[in-house]
Amino acid sequence: MMSKRDAADGSQQVAKATRARAAGRWYQRGRRLLTLLLRGCLLLILVPGFYLTVFPQGRAAVRAAFVLPALISASQPGILLAVGNPIQHTQRQMQSRSGPVYLDIYAPTTSSPQLAGARGGLLIVSGVGDNRQVPQLINLSEALARSGMVVMNMTTPTLMNYMISAQDSDATVQAFLTLQDLPALQGRRSGIIAFSGGVPLMCFAAADPRIRTQVASITAFGGYFDTRTLVHTFGSRSLLIDGKHEAWHPIAIPIGVLANMTTQYLSTSEQSSITAALAPQGAPLSNAELAQFSPGAQAIYHLLKGDQPQRVDANMAALPPNVQSLLDTLSPRRVLAQIQAPIFLLHDRNDASLPVTETRAFAAALTRLHHSHEYVEFHIFDHVEVRSGLQIGQVLGDGTQLFLLLDHLLSSVG
């Protein structure tokens, strides 16, 4: 028979064993819970990482996040320089129907990605003038290449001489085919980006049967849609925005480009006199001097000088037949229905080189055709270059829109 003391000791031992078993169960449960939590955390890390590296949308978001600061700050962020791909810049020259084409290629030096489509390509038509050494263009090209893209910038002697010719559309097609033939891009579609006066050449190329099914997307930044309405706007020096007229004063460069294009069919003396008078420091032509010109030459001068806004329609009608034909030929509008690729449109609201109304008209035409497109209007660019001295609110507002558009654009090319 147990004593009271032995019974108490036995009860304590039973209680200790019960507590030990309970503690063991709680330990096991806690361990399983901790394991589940760790697995969940690992999943939260791996799933976004898998999405951002495997899926085109994820890769595009990463690239957009890297390229956006480079666009806005006009310099490459330190993290992109630290973790981005090492890149190489090479130059090539090729021939087209209109003559030589100059190519600058920026590409990662690492081997082609194992994942199909992980490396996309972009052809950039940088517009009129020799832009090969423009810091912002080089910065953009290098940033895109560091993010894993293959970038090819192209120009021609015509563009470098501040002229636009429809014949250079073949140069654009040939450059695109050359880009597609690079080892890193074979079998994949690439996109085209054009700035300013490069937009018509991009559109003509994207409509060309040789490549139109291969073009992943086209992006028009600060371009124009209809050369007729463009010249009309230069002549009136005003924009019709949301039903209201507002003054618009173009800078000298686009005036010079239009003068080079529209006077090429005039006599040598008329051409030299008009281009000299419309130059930045040129002296206006007197009435006596203009009286010696043909009616077509007078119309060109007044439209580009903008000194007869009340006679714009009459001056447009007085343009020589070959100039009338030229305006139609150089309009992206004429090939719009033949373009199959999605179109991204960008323009600064206060652009003094090419009026924002041109890209608004471009977007409206695409809407009528039910053509896939996006249009974003900005306030931070001086034509196609980022303005200095921006306020943080402007950067944040426009930067968000620019990121979303970059994300969609880069998704289209892998």
Binned at pLDDT 50, 70 and 90, residue 342 comes out as: very high
Binned at pLDDT 50, 70 and 90, residue 46 comes out as: very low
pLDDT of residue 1: 47
User: SS3 string of 305-360?
Assistant: HCCCHHHHHHHHHCCCHHHHHHHHHCCHHHHHHHCCCCEEEEEECCCCCCCHHHHH
pLDDT, tens only, 88-102: 999 999 999 999 999
Task: Say yes or no to pLDDT of 294 above 90.
Answer: yes
In degrees, rounded to 5, the angle at the alpha carbon of residue 107 between the alpha carbons of residues 106 and 108 is: 140
Task: Say yes or no to pLDDT of 314 above 90.
Answer: yes
Measured CA distances, 148 to 49, 87, 191 (Å)? 16, 9, 14
Identify the residue with better confidence: 288 or 25. Answer: 288
pLDDT, tens only, 344-402: 999 999 999 999 999 999 999 999 999 999 999 998 889 988 877 777 777 777 878 88
CB 239 within 8 A of CB 233: yes
**Which CATH superfamily groups domain 56-225+346-412?**
Alpha/Beta hydrolase fold, catalytic domain (3.40.50.1820)
Identify the residue with better confidence: 332 or 186. Answer: 332
**How large a percentage of the chain has pLDDT more than 70?**
77
pLDDT, tens only, 165-177: 999 999 999 999 9
**Least confident range of 52-61, 228-237, 328-337:** 52-61
Identify the residue with better confidence: 281 or 10. Answer: 281
Domain range list for the chain = 56-225+346-412, 228-327
Q: How far apart are CA 108 and CA 147, in angstroms?
A: 8
Binned at pLDDT 50, 70 and 90, residue 197 comes out as: very high
**How large a percentage of the chain has pLDDT more than 90?**
62
DSSP, collapsed to helix, strand or coil, labels residue 368 as helix
Helix 321-329 with 252-262: angle, nearest 10 deg: 120
Helix (H) or strand (E) segment spanning residue 95: strand 87-96
